[in-house]
Amino acid sequence: MTTQIESTQRASELRDLINKYNYLYYVIDNPEVTDSEYDRLFNELKQIEHKQPELLTADSPTQRVGGRALDKFNQITHAIPMLSLDNVFNTEDLNAFDQRVRDWLNTREVQVYAAEPKLDGLAISLRYEQGILVQAATRGDGAVGEDVTVNVRTIPTVPLKLIGDDIPDVVEVRGEIIMPKAGFDALNIKQVEEGKKPFVNPRNAAAGSLRQLDSKITANRPLAIYCYGLGELIGMDKPATHSAAMKMIEKWGCQISPELELLEGVDACLRYIEQLGERRDSLSYDIDGVVLKIDNIQLQQRLGFVSRAPRWAIAHKFPAQEEMTVVEDIEIQVGRTGALTPVARLKPVFVGGVTVSNATLHNQDEIDRKDVRVGDTVIVRRAGDVIPEVVQVVMSKRPEQTVNFKIPSICPICDSEVERVEGEAIARCSGGLYCPAQRKEAIKHFASRKAMDVDGLGDKLVEQLVDEGLINDPADLFQLTVEQLSSLERMGEKSAVNLVNALDASKHTRFSRFLFALGIREAGEATTRSLASHFLTLGALNVANEDALIEIEDVGPIVAHHIVTFFHQEHNQQVIDRLLAAGVDWPEEKKIAEDSLLSGKTVVLTGTLEQLSRSEAKEKLLALGAKVAGSVSAKTDYVVAGRDAGSKLTKAEKLGITVMSESDMLAWFN
């Protein structure tokens, strides 16, 4: 009779053997045993675990079959963000990238790049602790992804336990979940036979398979993984190069791309891209480009990141797939900032793995350049996840009596005038306070801290109020009641009372703040302050023409045009009248005398003020004719230093600028 110790030892031996054979079969394509021998060992392990469930471990190969269905996917915060890559599409852009890299590194030396295919799948992060797979998360937005551990465990090429002795305490292996072409074809045949809808392409099939709440479904889908990088690493020094890191994780049992190569210089990269592009259709999986990374990890760290992308890597995308179709109509979409975008409604066509029925025409200049008309046969391009676009018109197929398309001069949403400033490509609706397409952004700006400063009215609440139909423009805010607000989800009566009080308090403002709150295009804080101090009253500003406006500092021809157009719109005037009727007011504006104490002087505030808020001090300084700047320069006249003043004070002292205390500033005001 087999003892407990013998069963434990045998189960451990079987797990190690089967994991080894999985690695040899799936990862390096060099099987050592027959299928029948593998099946015998697998079944022996299942029997032991069935008879003695306490011997079942998380890394057991028998656990790939899928478990209990989930109710939902939980969110996972990545220890190290999963960054996206910037793209290039041609030789010129790749050369420019290589030049930027060498400029940042301040070197003329040829750089060594690690190159591999850009797989068309789903990015994944596999977290191993003490060599055991404990978590798998999708990329998500780069910072937070979804926990798909139970599904990823069913994928044969994902090691449940890393191989070898030199395993770190914690390691995150980054990779791409894909569905090979052969498996995709077989899956679609099965889908059709079962009367189900076939998948559009391998990427969609992989995504749909990985995001099944029932992992048993995922287990029956032909998914695979190729690993391409490391995330968090604890208990081991990071290898000196990316290629060394890839060899290390391959040794641990992770499948890496067989196409991975080290290349010296951008010319070698271009040859690799060309050669791989020629073999693209013959590969067993879909790719949409080539990823190039600086191989040296120290250089990667020196280069760092910009926005959400590393400076040391780039994706060279292959030419987009294109198809011909017919433009059935051209419609105008109005965006949240008032931009009018023409969109071609197309006869549906299959491009790049999806059915496309709409394509952007960008703006009037692009329509004119390509001469796109309703009824035209056009070539449509779809590059990855980029919005489809019309590339060109097939003139030989143009029907008779087509007409040029022009973006309308009246907004199709609110009937306000559409303005397009000379030299700008985008046409915009001028009904900023009224236009339904812009209302959420207009109200958010109106209530923001530098505008009317409505305490407690955040972006999400504005969206909720608009969605519930309680407000349509800024003036509606002052009609809200405690009863209306307290009926909202997650809004108690106390919060409702506080918001109504905050709205009432915000009515008493300054003329410049009110003008800024109106959201006149390109009229920022400095411009609205200049308008308020020059015109003094809303009535005087209302009737000012462009010539009068241009005379003011901070106002050029374009801004003057925006101001006149804004006040010319009847819809905007109606909202302003309702705001004034609701009790919005401000103290009488007084002209700042040219001999005012701080006239023409530039003041910078730094540190914590004890007796005034920063905004109160700023308002008082402006009233004395000062310009309040955010940074110290040679043009700064005074720096007012409060408690815990930092680098601005240090810079002022180096430049010999006069430093004042808060009490000195209060003496100015007195």
Residues 206-246 have pLDDT tens digits of 888 888 888 888 888 999 999 999 999 999 999 999 999 99
Is 80 a domain residue?
A: no
Where is pLDDT greater, at 626 or 493?
493
Is 81 a domain residue?
A: no
528 and 497 in one domain? yes
Which pLDDT score is estimated for 68? Answer: 56
Cα–Cα distance for residue pair 12/20, rounded to 1 Å = 12
Mean pLDDT of 151-158: 91
Domain boundary, last residue among 263, 289, 317? 317
Which pLDDT score is estimated for 230? Answer: 95
Residues 8-19 have pLDDT tens digits of 888 888 888 887
Residues 186-204 have pLDDT tens digits of 998 898 788 887 776 788 8
563 and 504 in one domain? yes
Which pLDDT score is estimated for 391? Answer: 81
465 and 536 in one domain? yes
Mean pLDDT of 276-289: 87
Confidence of residue 517 (pLDDT cuts 50, 70, 90): very high
Which pLDDT score is estimated for 288? Answer: 84
Statement: residue 665 has pLDDT above 90: no
Which pLDDT score is estimated for 503? Answer: 94
In which domain, by residue range, is 355 found? 321-397
Statement: residue 27 has pLDDT above 70: no
Which pLDDT score is estimated for 398? Answer: 93
Cα–Cα distance for residue pair 264/294, rounded to 1 Å = 10
631 and 558 in one domain? no
Which pLDDT score is estimated for 353? Answer: 63
**pTM of the predicted model, to two decimals?**
0.50
375 and 481 in one domain? no
Mean pLDDT of 308-319: 87
Which pLDDT score is estimated for 271? Answer: 95
97 and 23 in one domain? no
Statement: residue 405 has pLDDT above 90: yes
221 and 116 in one domain? yes
- Cβ atoms of 111 and 101 within 8 Å: the answer is yes
- Cβ atoms of 30 and 24 within 8 Å: the answer is yes
Domain boundary, last residue among 532, 549, 581? 581
Domain boundary, last residue among 13, 35, 65? 65
Matching residue, tokens 């709205």:
503
Is 429 a domain residue?
A: no
- DSSP run (H or E) holding 382: strand 377-382
Cα–Cα distance for residue pair 317/325, rounded to 1 Å = 24
Q: What is the CATH number of the domain that holds 280?
A: 3.30.470.30
Statement: residue 524 has pLDDT above 80: yes
Q: What is the CATH number of the domain that holds 486?
A: 1.10.150.20
Residue 641, φ and ψ in degrees, nearest 5:
-105, 115
Where is pLDDT greater, at 509 or 619?
509
Is 77 a domain residue?
A: no
Statement: residue 65 has pLDDT above 80: no
Query: Which DSSP string do the residues of 620-634 spell out, in sequence order?
Result: HHHHTT-EEESS--T
Which residues are registered as beta bridge partners of 627? 602
Which pLDDT score is estimated for 200? Answer: 67
Which pLDDT score is estimated for 338? Answer: 86
Which pLDDT score is estimated for 141? Answer: 76
Statement: residue 426 has pLDDT above 70: yes
Mean pLDDT of 127-148: 90
Secondary structure of residue 358 in the 3-state scheme? strand
Using a pLDDT cut of 70, give the percent of the chain over it. 94
How confident is the prediction for the chain on average, in pLDDT? 86
184 and 149 in one domain? yes
Report the range out of 344-348, 415-419, 534-538 with the highest average pLDDT. Answer: 344-348
Which pLDDT score is estimated for 298? Answer: 95
Query: Which DSSP string do the residues of 565-584 spell out, in sequence order?
Result: HHHH-HHHHHHHHHHHHTT-
Q: What is the CATH number of the domain that holds 49?
A: 1.10.287.610
Is 358 a domain residue?
A: yes
Is 423 a domain residue?
A: no
Mean pLDDT of 435-464: 89
Statement: residue 606 has pLDDT above 90: no
Which pLDDT score is estimated for 592? Answer: 63
Is 189 a domain residue?
A: yes
Residues 334-391 have pLDDT tens digits of 887 788 999 999 999 887 667 889 998 989 988 998 899 999 999 887 755 567 888 8
Matching residue, tokens 């007195």:
670
The upper half-sphere exposure of residue 652, i.e. CA atoms within 13 Å in the direction of its Cβ, equals 23
Report the range out of 297-311, 396-410, 557-571 with the highest average pLDDT. Answer: 396-410
358 and 275 in one domain? no
Which pLDDT score is estimated for 508? Answer: 93
Domain count along the chain? 5
Picking from 171-180, 193-202, 462-471, 512-521, which range would have the lowest pLDDT averaged per residue?
A: 193-202
Catalytically active residues are 118
- Cβ atoms of 157 and 99 within 8 Å: the answer is no
CB atoms within 10 A of CB 359: 24
92 and 53 in one domain? no
Secondary structure of residue 629 in the 3-state scheme? strand
Contacts of 269 (CB under 8 A, 6+ apart): 94, 98, 113, 115, 263, 290, 292, 316
326 and 304 in one domain? no
- Cβ atoms of 453 and 510 within 8 Å: the answer is no
Is 419 a domain residue?
A: no
Using a pLDDT cut of 90, give the percent of the chain over it. 38
245 and 115 in one domain? yes
Contacts of 143 (CB under 8 A, 6+ apart): 77, 78, 81
Which pLDDT score is estimated for 219? Answer: 87
Q: Which two tokens stand for residue 315?
A: 């994706």
